[in-house]
């Protein structure tokens, strides 16, 4: 099994953190009793700027969750299509090559789900296996890769796509002035990402019913080179922490999604991530010192620091995660996929290097993916 490609897509509306802070101060107005607190929280998340699903001036005009969710469905299709098309192109595959499509989000709701709408937009195979995932939040990028690996393990001649779209700005609650919501207003951004996972026996030419004579040429050797360039997936593990459901998630009402974010999350990660990774590696025949490459979800500066402390890493070893956080903020499930894309494109380890991809999220839970580059 391999990760053949990873690709991201963002809205066209990008704003600096300074600009967004000023707009939020206007948005909350006199209801914001302590503007200095909001400014300090925005500085502390170490984010330089973020993408927004729609122009900043349109947000004050949204009055209902229904309006926000309608926009979410519209933008999610556009970004999901762009991310998936780019991931397919990077992998040297075509839409018709896909045997399974997984879609994950925690910032909007649609039925039929966005994966079904993407099938129509892209002309994906009518017999493609769909798996929409909702509720896993930040952990879903790593979990989606693991579930895609499960699929191609069962069907080694096939390829699976994971698409994540998170439009966190459309969940912002105007009447929630809790510290958790103030932090999230400065931390979370909008974006999408897609990953193609291929089985050991997969090759685009193996799929029947395609007339490639009418398609843009993708030579077989080039396709094989692209597929072999991605990291192998050696093993995966899911870890659930009982009685921690109040740590992170949403309270959902007629007004939409209200953030739940406990200050105890970094302590939970610091206590558990290192031992969990050590046990996972031991069961796979390795130890912590064997792992030289890390693709971690950039949940926030305290989460990243807790992860580094628990795994015994210096900040430099998580540069890709820190850079993602600084440039675009926390993208929930899409973040770890954006970090993966950066590592594959700009920071690729030497062949044979052992790597770890990991994320944490609501449940509370962790997902671990062992890679060989």
Q: What is the CATH number of the domain that holds 299?
A: 3.40.47.10
Question: Domain check: are 134 and 261 in the same one?
Answer: no
Q: Smallest Cα–Cα separation from 90: which of 6, 206, 197, 157?
A: 6
Question: Domain check: are 303 and 363 in the same one?
Answer: yes
Cα 82 → chain centroid: 15
Question: Domain check: are 251 and 135 in the same one?
Answer: no
End-to-end CA distance of the chain: 12
Q: Last residue of a domain, which of 222, 252, 273?
A: 222
Q: Which helix (H) or strand (E) holds 198?
A: strand 190-198
d(CA 138, CA 50): 17
Question: Domain check: are 115 and 35 in the same one?
Answer: yes
Question: Domain check: are 195 and 247 in the same one?
Answer: no
Question: Domain check: are 233 and 165 in the same one?
Answer: no
Q: Last residue of a domain, which of 222, 239, 268?
A: 222
Residue 8 has a pLDDT of 98
Return the sign of the alpha-carbon dihedral for residues 360, 363, 364, 368. Answer: negative
Question: Domain check: are 143 and 239 in the same one?
Answer: no
| DSSP three-state, residue 207 | coil
Q: Report whether 311 contacts 274 (CB < 8 A).
A: yes
Q: Is 138 a catalytic residue?
A: yes
Q: Report whether 323 contacts 338 (CB < 8 A).
A: no
Question: Domain check: are 212 and 255 in the same one?
Answer: no
Residue 255 has a pLDDT of 85
Strand 129-134 versus strand 98-105 pairing type = parallel
d(CA 244, CA 60): 34
Question: Domain check: are 12 and 134 in the same one?
Answer: yes
Cα 191 → chain centroid: 9
Ranges in the chain, pLDDT < 70: 205-228
Catalytic residue (choose from 138, 168, 324, 365):
138
Residue 204 has a pLDDT of 73
Question: Domain check: are 142 and 158 in the same one?
Answer: yes
Question: Domain check: are 243 and 207 in the same one?
Answer: no
pTM score, two decimals? 0.91
Question: Domain check: are 307 and 185 in the same one?
Answer: no
d(CA 53, CA 62): 13
Q: Last residue of a domain, which of 195, 222, 249?
A: 222
Residue 211 has a pLDDT of 41
Overall number of domains in the chain: 2
Q: Look up the domain containing 115 and give its range.
A: 2-222
d(CA 213, CA 52): 40
């Amino acid at each position: 099994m391999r990760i053949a490609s990873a690709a991201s897509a963002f809205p066209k509306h990008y704003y600096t953190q300074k600009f967004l802070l000023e707009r939020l101060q206007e948005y909350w107005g006199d209801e914001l009793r302590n503007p200095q607190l909001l400014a300090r929280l925005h500085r502390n998340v170490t984010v330089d700027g973020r993408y927004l699903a729609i122009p900043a001036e349109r947000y004050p005009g949204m009055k209902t969750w229904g309006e926000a969710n309608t926009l979410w469905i519209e933008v999610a299709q556009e970004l999901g299509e762009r991310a998936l098309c780019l991931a397919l192109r990077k992998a040297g595959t075509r839409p018709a090559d896909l045997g399974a499509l997984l879609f994950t989000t925690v910032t909007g709701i649609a039925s039929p789900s966005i994966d079904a709408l993407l099938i129509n937009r892209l002309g994906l195979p009518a017999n493609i296996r769909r798996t929409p995932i909702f509720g896993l939040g930040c952990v879903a990028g790593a979990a989606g890769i693991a579930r895609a690996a499960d699929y191609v393990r069962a069907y080694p001649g096939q390829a699976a796509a994971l698409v994540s779209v998170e439009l966190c700005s459309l969940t912002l609650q105007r009447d929630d002035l809790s510290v958790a919501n103030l932090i999230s207003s400065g931390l979370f951004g909008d974006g999408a990402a897609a990953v193609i996972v291929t089985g050991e026996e997969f090759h685009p030419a193996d799929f029947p019913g395609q007339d490639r004579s009418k398609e843009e040429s993708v030579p077989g050797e080039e396709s094989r080179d692209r597929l072999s360039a991605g990291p192998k997936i050696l093993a995966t593990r899911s870890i659930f922490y009982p009685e921690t459901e109040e740590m992170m998630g949403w309270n959902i009402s007629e007004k939409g999604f209200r953030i739940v974010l406990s200050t105890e999350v970094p302590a939970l990660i610091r206590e558990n991530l290192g031992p969990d990774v050590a046990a996972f590696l031991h069961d796979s025949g390795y130890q912590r010192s064997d792992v030289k490459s890390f693709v971690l979800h950039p949940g926030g500066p305290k989460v990243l620091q807790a992860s580094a402390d628990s795994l015994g890493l210096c900040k430099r070893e998580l540069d890709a995660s820190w850079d993602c956080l600084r440039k675009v903020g926390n993208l929930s499930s899409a973040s770890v996929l954006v970090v993966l894309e950066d590592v594959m494109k700009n920071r690729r380890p030497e062949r044979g290097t052992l790597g770890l991809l990991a994320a944490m999220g609501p449940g509370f839970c962790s997902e671990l993916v062992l890679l060989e580059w």
